[in-house]
Homo-oligomer: A and B are copies of this chain.
Amino acid sequence: MTTPLSRYFLSIALSIFTFSIAAADDWKPLFDGKSFDGWKQLGGKAEYSIEKGEIVGRSVADTPNSFLTTEKNYTDFVLEFEFWVQDGLNSGVQFRSMSKPEYRDGRVHGYQYELDTSSRAWTAGIFDEANRGWLYPVEYNSTARSLFKNEQWNRGRIECVGNEVQTFLNGRQVSHLVDDRAITGFIGLQVHSIRDASHANYQVRWRNLRINTKSPELSRSEDIYIRNVAPNTLSKPEKNRGWEFLFDGKNTAAWKGTSNVDPFNKNGWIVKNGSLTIQPGGKGGQIVTKKTYGAFELDFDFNLAKGANSGVKYFVVDHAEPGASKSQYLGLEYQVLDDKVHPDGVKGAVGNRTTASLYDLIPSYRKVNTRNVPLYIGKWNHGRIVSHLNGTIEHWLNGFKVVEYERGTNIYEVLIARSKYAEIENFGLSEEGHILLQDHKDLVSYRSIKIREL
């Protein structure tokens, strides 16, 4: 099946306004339509052939991931291609990728533009093959999950300039990644290994591959989430959107303590190696932002020692009586916990004290779109809280939305009334509040804490 030509040209016409225009002769075909000159096969033994000027990859049983790769390396470029994938096959387009004897015996690794026929529908998401895994799961931009056309020709586009990557599918932007590496590498057409022998001889096809290395430019980004995996950095597009640091690896000026103890001394919160770390058994106490926030987007990385407990609270206000000697900062909590080891992980109800849960209120989903939501111990996790102008609040963990609710509704009220917060008047209902990091005297580190007001 192919798309009717008229629809195809219409969608090209519509997308022209999004993309930067490069002179026609800045583009070079990446494949001559006749031969594999300039290409070589790496990895598994999937079959690659040329039919009707198209590259056809066919899956083969009992072989690992296979890659037909360019001999040349590319750093900054815009790549365009069309692809057709048989339902049931997973595939991808590698870029800035490598195969080196010293890395896992030549295992192909690097960025992959995902081709995904499954119900997850993450086509055009960015996966770091045989390395860091998913960098831009399409959950971040879930409306883009409907762009892929199953067993039809689709148009892909990859823009790599400096440390930014943008991907497009059928004329719409899918992902926007900022990385700390601007590496060089080959382009490669993947045929994924298959688990089920009945999926042997499944096809993926590519055609009209062309590359622009002369005038590569990033298109103006659509208003989608920008995922920056470079620790403690703010990229230019993030700054343009209004993102600011609450902690950039060094500066703690955005924070103050809530106890009489100075949190930033050797007893409390320690800044070291780009991290803000709770001193185990220390006396730092909670810290809160000096500013308050209403509608906002908060991004942070956290790293839990085994069994450790902390938390990120928001809409935090001081509930102490006027004139009280001690402050009582309370708010809604994004739980941060080694929930498999720490005893609080199984308390509360149906898992509502696990990491990324709205603490003691709403459990974090452990599965989203059939995928397990990962939580790493002793490694960095990525947390995200979005408080929308319309009152909806989202918790994200490692690329998955795991909690969504609305403050002040009848459901919110009953959740509060049947939680440990039942006796606190107007709990979590202030118009604005501080962000708070919780000190449970356990070894927990934070970094890349960023916020933007909505």
Chain A residues close to B by CB (< 8 Å): 349-350, 352, 361-365, 403, 405, 410-411, 413-415, 417-419
Contacts and interface: CB of A to CB of B under 8 A. Distances in A.
Contact of A350 (B349, B352, B362, B413): B413
A417 B364 contact: no
Copies of this chain held together in the complex:
2
A350 B363 CA distance: 21
B415 A363 contact: no
A347 to B, nearest CB: 12
A363 B414 contact: yes
A418 B349 contact: yes
Contacts of A365: 410
A411 B405 CA distance: 8
Given A350-B417, A414-B415, 13 more contacts: A349-B414, A350-B413, A350-B414, A352-B414, A361-B414, A362-B411, A362-B414, A363-B410, A363-B413, A363-B414, A364-B410, A405-B411, A418-B418
Contacts of A405: 411
A403 B411 CA distance: 9
Contact of A362 (B349, B361, B410): B410
A418 B352 CA distance: 11
Contacts of A419: 418
A409 to B, nearest CB: 9
Contacts of A363: 410, 413-414
A411 B410 contact: no
Nearest to A352: B414
Most chain-B Cβ atoms within 10 A of its Cβ — which of A365, A410, A417, A419? A410
A142 to B, nearest CB: 16
A349 B410 CA distance: 11
A403 to B, nearest CB: 7
A419 B411 CA distance: 13
Contacts of A349: 414, 417-418
A410 B363 CA distance: 6
A332 to B, nearest CB: 14
5 nearest A-B residue pairs (beta carbon): A349-B417, A418-B418, A350-B417, A350-B413, A363-B410
A22 to B, nearest CB: 39
Contact of A411 (B413, B415, B418): B415
Contacts of A411: 362, 405, 411, 415
A403 B410 contact: yes
A262 to B, nearest CB: 39
Interface centre among A361, A364, A415 (most CB of B within 10 A): A415
